Chain A
Amino acid sequence: MTKLRFNTMLLAGALLPATFLITGCQTAETRTVDASGPQALNTGGINSQDWANAADQLVGSLLSSGALDKSPTQPAILAVDRIINNTQLNIDTDLLIKKIRVALTQTGKVVVTNTMGLGERAVVASEAAELDEMTTGKKAKIIAPNYTLYGKLIQQTDRLNGVTQNTYSFQMSLVAVKTGFTVWEDERQIAKQTKKSAVGW
């Protein structure tokens, strides 16, 4: 009887810490990190750091090229064309294009037209323009852009010896509207290698 009680106590003593351990492991911990900082998760996909990196390099390349300096108007009027997503990822291309738009606008060398392409003319802005037309009786004057910007995201996947490499290409071109000439284009690549764990499911 004493032995049985001892065994029960032993079992309980062993189970209690195990229970604490398991419940302790299940505690969710959330922390706020810098989206493009060192703590950002690095995955096989395109993470926040990659978007910022690609945008920074493309903007740097465009500004260094001097293409915008030859614009007929200053600041240059830019319309954002399509950004084709040819990756396997379901992503919003604004993650790239918005960063480029913001950076270019900050330079003061570009104004982005919202009347065509991927312009972000909000409903209220559109209604306000209509209202302005009605009250003044004049059709709003729309200025044609000097340049259009279009891009493409491409993913290439290679596998060798248990390592998967995803190479993401960020292609971008600036086209002069009057001539149809491409006045600047560049491509930046980010390659991600993921090694599958030898042990595990």
Chain B
Amino acid sequence: MKISRRFLCAALAGGLLAALAGCATNVNTVERAQPAATPNYISDKRVVTDNTLARTVRVNAVNQTVVSGNLLKVQATVENLKNDLRSVRYKFEWIDQDGMAVGSPNEGWKVLNLQGRETTTISTVAVSPRAVDFVLKLSEL
């Protein structure tokens, strides 16, 4: 009786592992060993209020550039730390020299779908030359 229980548990665990492995949609990547790009990374400050989200999706880096002469463009590299498809919402907000929010008609929450262990980038361009700072918000879907 004891052996059969142990066997049952092993079979269940094996089945569960097989099912999980079958569901995994992890992403493998290949890239240049010595990247030619020299991104302008910026130091960031992070405020975590949702620990579950922080354990699911991580912002690896944020870099910025200037486009069209005087408009800031920021790009965040986001990684899914889990082994399955995860979706999050994100939003960029811009702030001017005086700390005032610079509104945009297209500012809003966007959905980001990330395959298991996938790393991707999200970016936005400030529509006002007054924008000097930004806030990236992430939220669970």
Contact = CB atoms under 8 A, between A and B. Distances in A.
Contacts of A49: 108-111
Contacts of B125: 59-60, 63-64
A68 interface: yes
A60 B73 contact: yes
B128 to A, nearest CB: 5
B73 A64 contact: yes
Interface stretch (A100-108, A119-127, A143-151): A100-108
B107 A36 contact: yes
B104 A68 contact: no
**Interface residues of A, dominant DSSP:** helix
A165 B127 CA distance: 32
B69 interface: yes
Contact of B105 (A52, A63, A66): A52
A102 B139 CA distance: 27
Interface of A: 34-38, 48-49, 52-53, 55-56, 59-60, 63-64, 66, 68-69, 98-99, 102-104, 106-109
Nearest to A101: B105
Interface string B94-135: 000000000011111111000000000001110111000000
Contact of A59 (B108, B123, B127, B141): B127
Given A59-B125, A68-B68, 18 more contacts: A38-B89, A38-B139, A49-B108, A49-B111, A52-B106, A53-B106, A53-B108, A56-B124, A59-B106, A60-B124, A63-B67, A63-B68, A64-B73, A66-B67, A98-B105, A106-B104, A106-B127, A108-B129
Contacts of B67: 63-64, 66
A107 B128 contact: yes
A55 B23 CA distance: 35
Contacts of A64: 67-68, 73, 125
